Amino acid sequence: MDAKEWTWDETLFSGSAAHYGIGRMPYPPSLADAVCNELDLDGTGRLLDVGCGPGSLTVLLAPRFASAVGVDADPGMIAEAQRRAGEAEAGAIEWRHLRAEDLPADLGTFQVASFAQSFHWMDQPLVARRVRDMLSPGGAWIHVGATTHRGVTGEHPLPHPPPPWEQIEDLVARYLGPVRRAGQGHLPQGTRGGEEAVMRQAGYTGPTRITIDEERIADRSIDEIISAVFSLSSSAPHLFTDQLPAFEGDLRHLLQKSAPNGRFAERASAVEVVIWRP
């Protein structure tokens, strides 16, 4: 099954939500500043975060608006988003268990619609059209792209060894097979691309691109790397069925062997914000 044939199913991220806050590196606070400056946000208006997951981007951007709505197709993600927003005292955020394809769902209009590493899972032409009609005059669509489960290479030495990601991927393949899993299906070529063509066909202009490329070194524990693995759709906990304890044991052993003191370090990736306007 390739990306064109693959269809979404509700098990895609089953069991992964609780691992996001532990295993994913956070977006830098400067991301909110960059979006605010580019879009001239003044604390009014509404934010719609589509495919919000556990609310990582929603909670970061919400203080720049009068109110926000986060929607996600996974009930576990919405529950985790509610929990994390409560801990952060994030303010006026409404959380809805909802597929993006079911918008507008009587949610009203928004100044900004945001997508963070989520649009590739959706019926892109349909969602692009429906969200366009939900944007107020002068509104904007923003797509935030970054690799948050793992770091990137760099020139300068790190205080601890990087996680052995190639060996981790080999271990996942030993348990789940060599073809990338995604819910009940497989994605041998990865998720679909072509976003720019989709957006133009849906009636958007642009894009404007902003890159936040700061030197950010993350000190990460064994438990954080294990959660990073389980936060991925290709290695979500449910995929391992009754082999989950064995896999986690093998993964922990691999990580302890790679870093006897239990500490890893990685450089966080740059973050790209792509802005489209209807």
The pLDDT mean for the chain works out to: 92
Answer whether residue 8 shows pLDDT above 80: no
Give the 3-state secondary structure percentages of the chain, helix then strand then coil, rounded to 5. 40, 25, 40
170-192, pLDDT tens digit by residue? 999 999 999 988 777 776 666 66
Instruction: Using pLDDT thresholds of 50, 70 and 90, give the confidence band for residue 163.
Output: very high
Q: Reduced to 3 states, what is the DSSP secondary structure of residue 270?
A: coil
pLDDT score at 5: 63
Please state the rounded mean pLDDT for residues 215-225.
Answer: 96
Provide the pLDDT for residue 2.
43
Mean pLDDT of 16-36: 94
The residue behind tokens 């394809």 is 101
What are phi and psi for residue 45, nearest 5 degrees?
A: 75, 180
Per-residue pLDDT tens over the stretch 266-277: 999 999 999 999
Q: What pLDDT shows up at residue 112?
A: 98
Angstrom distance (rounded) from CA 24 to CA 116? 13
Residue 166 CB burial class (10 angstroms; 0-12, 13-18, ≥19): exposed
Please enumerate, as own/partner, the contacts of 1-7 that have beta carbons within 8 Å and a separation of 24 or more: 1/185, 1/186, 1/187, 1/188, 2/187, 2/188, 2/189, 3/187, 3/189, 3/190, 3/191, 3/192, 4/192, 6/182, 6/185, 6/186, 6/187, 7/185
Task: Sheet containing 271-277: give its strands across.
Answer: 93-97, 67-72, 46-50, 110-116, 135-145, 271-277, 205-212
- Whether the predicted pLDDT of 3 surpasses 50: no
Residue 108 burial (CB count, 10 A) = 11
Mean pLDDT along residues 88-101 = 89
Threshold 0.85, pTM exceeds? yes
DSSP 8-state secondary structure symbol assigned to residue 193: -
pLDDT of residue 6: 67
pLDDT of residue 192: 66
Helices and strands of the chain, counted as H and E runs: 9, 11
Q: Which residue has the tokens 């991927």?
A: 169
Between 45-54, 58-67, 87-96, the lowest mean confidence (pLDDT) is in 87-96
Between CA 162 and CA 5 the distance in angstroms is: 36
pLDDT per position as a tens digit, 226-246: 999 999 999 999 999 999 999
Q: Which residues contact 64 (CB under 8 A, 6 or more apart)?
A: 32, 35, 36, 41, 43, 47
Position 154 confidence tier, pLDDT thresholds 50, 70, 90: confident
